[in-house]
Amino acid sequence: RRSVRTLLREGQSHLFEHWPPPGEHDDDKRRFSEQVEKFSERYPGGLAAYVRRAKTLQEYVGSNQRHKEFEGCTPSIAEGVILKYGSRKYVEYEEAGLKEFARVAFVLVAGGSAERLNRGNEIKLELPTESATGICFLELYIKSILAIQHSAKKRLAFKAAKIPFVIMSSDYTHSRIKKLLTTNDCFGMCPDQIYLLKQENTAPCLNRKTANLLLSSNDPYLIKTMPGGSGEVHAILFSSGLLQTWKKEGRNWVVIFEEGNGLTFKATPALLGASMLCDFDVNLLASARKGESPGAGIVQFSNKSGSRMVANIDCIHQVLSSMGHRHMDLNDFTTAHSPFPTGLDQMVLKPGPYLDELTNTQGRDMPTVLPLAMRLETRMQDYTRNLKPSAKVGFTTMDEWLIYAPLKNSAPSAAKVPECSSPASSEMAIYKANCLILQNVGAYVEGGMEIDFGHAQKVQMWPRIVWHPGWALTSSDVLKKMLYEKERSSITLASSLVLSAPDIVIENLQLDGTLFVHTVPGVIVSEKSSR
């Protein structure tokens, strides 16, 4: 078959060394060819291009050749918005975002395991976000969406439509997510607004040293496969038909976010506001980064033909330096940060342009990452790489303490890499964000003491402050519910405060201990003092 000849030309003869003479195992051989042809349909240029791409990316790793992908291009700063929490501009963008709540759909990328966290067979969505309440990630996300839905109903003064919530699962997470939803009655969300779409194992695996294709250990007539990364969410959304439905329903925005961040929804109101006020077709959530630091950064590349691309580029400082533009990544004197922020795990898209683009590409973008697992991956943010120059792609930068509390690594693993996240740092980041938010409205909150959590990892300690997503979606909500007349509220470092319902008002609270406040719907509780 043609597929076999193609692989032989690409130096993949090792795949056929075990094949018997013609006439033997012909059904298995045909099954192999059908798999290869199916793979080829998924990638621009086919499986041969996939292999060549893998070898090219392998050459980039540990070398100074990353810039070759952008040869002939000129880097520049993409259009973006910088929002500081509590500023007048931030409040303005939050208020604009509130008005868009009824016209949004949420998509969660949740195909990963908790293997790097040493949590056995668990998945991230069932892990607790913090220990004060023990709420798991999936429950937090659902309750946040329900709070947004409730806010939309109040603003529109009639029963607004349910907000769709899509979860992209994988072979590893699908049954576990389904069970988590079923056994918890979808955490209060109507089952008909949840769409569980499974990501298939579509990325051929590669040898780490040679970047050659690998055969399955269970079947010598199948190529070993793994999930193809978070970027497959675009093709899955398109094939599901949901984008077409949302466009007909008049939804203005699709918010895509990744699992494992307990502060994801702190960013949502202002991020939606920025998308609306700046008329972005795609809006990437970002945080500031130091100049000349390793890691990814959002940059715009353009060439003489007028082509333009905005993307979150790995090793951005290395790329700019190798292109002769190292000076562009220096810290700005006024902000003390690089003009190139780093993209995080959330993006907002307009359904119309999004659907038009996916109609052309079917979501089949060239893989861009070669991870340690040795298969090519696409990432959800890499969708912006192939857009037309007319597409308006931008970023919105917010304070990292407000929007980012990633849970990625076990404590021993995190200790090996500076500033790497761990369960302790992720949990404390959630408390820190809530403490700083209360400080912003005038409360006195102790915190910031650095202690050693073991495994050579030091983490800042803060009071254990957590609230129900419906208690405060925005900075204005906090301001309305944290009151003081003669004496402002005060919370000591040793304290824990849990506000587990929307209708709670805090007035002149003096807390040195543990306080859990709960109320039934419609009953307002005013907590004035607790020692």
Cα(415)–Cα(411) distance, rounded to whole angstroms? 6
Mean pLDDT value across residues 291-315: 89
Residue 417: its pLDDT value, please?
Answer: 61
| Range scoring the smallest mean pLDDT among 152-161, 231-240, 241-250, 370-379 | 152-161
Bridge partners, residue 508, by sequence: none
Residue 155, pLDDT > 60, answer yes
Of 5-14, 90-99, 151-160, where does the model show the most confidence?
Answer: 90-99
Mean pLDDT value across residues 319-332: 90
Residue 108: its pLDDT value, please?
Answer: 97
Q: What's this model's pTM, rounded to 2 decimal places?
A: 0.91
Residue 313, pLDDT > 80, answer yes
* Secondary structure percentages of the chain, helix, strand, coil, to 5: 40, 20, 40
Residue 485: its pLDDT value, please?
Answer: 66
Residue 145: its pLDDT value, please?
Answer: 97
Contact 335, 291 (CB under 8 A): no
Residue 70: its pLDDT value, please?
Answer: 84
| Range scoring the smallest mean pLDDT among 75-79, 151-155, 405-409, 523-527 | 523-527
Is the pLDDT higher at 292 or at 93?
Answer: 93
| Range scoring the smallest mean pLDDT among 32-41, 157-166, 432-441 | 157-166
φ, ψ for residue 283, nearest 5 deg: -125, 115
**What are the boundaries of each domain within the chain?**
1-62, 63-408, 414-517
Residue 209, pLDDT > 90, answer no
Mean pLDDT value across residues 106-114: 84
Residue 58, pLDDT > 80, answer no
Cα(330)–Cα(336) distance, rounded to whole angstroms? 9
Mean pLDDT value across residues 117-128: 81
Binning pLDDT at 50, 70 and 90, where does residue 526 land? low
Tokens of 143: 């309750």
User: Which runs of consecutive H residues, i.e. helices, occur in 314-415?
Assistant: 316-322, 351-361, 400-403, 411-415
Contact 381, 311 (CB under 8 A): yes
Contact 127, 407 (CB under 8 A): yes
Contact 282, 393 (CB under 8 A): yes
Mean pLDDT value across residues 16-45: 88
Contact 176, 127 (CB under 8 A): no
Binning pLDDT at 50, 70 and 90, where does residue 200 land? confident
Residue 149: its pLDDT value, please?
Answer: 94
Is the pLDDT higher at 211 or at 67?
Answer: 211
Residue 294: its pLDDT value, please?
Answer: 85
423 contact partners, CB below 8 Å, separation of at least 6: 117, 407, 410, 411
> Of the CATH numbers 3.30.450.40, 3.30.1490.20, 3.40.50.720, 3.90.550.10, which one belongs to the domain with range 63-408?
3.90.550.10
Residue 408: its pLDDT value, please?
Answer: 77
| Intra-chain end-to-end CA distance of the chain, in Å | 79
Q: Count Cβ atoms below 10 Å from residue 378 Cβ, excluding itself.
A: 25
Q: Is 250 helix (H, G, I), strand (E, B) or coil?
A: coil
Residue 331: its pLDDT value, please?
Answer: 92
Mean pLDDT value across residues 28-35: 91
Is the pLDDT higher at 258 or at 409?
Answer: 258
Name the packing angle between helices 174-183 and 137-156 (round to 10°). Answer: 60
Place of tokens 């893989």: 367
Share of the chain above pLDDT 70, in %: 89
Amino acid occupying residue 293: S
Cα(230)–Cα(52) distance, rounded to whole angstroms? 22
Strand order in the sheet with 510-511: 444-445, 490-491, 510-511
Mean pLDDT value across residues 354-371: 77
Mean pLDDT value across residues 12-23: 91
Residue 122: its pLDDT value, please?
Answer: 82
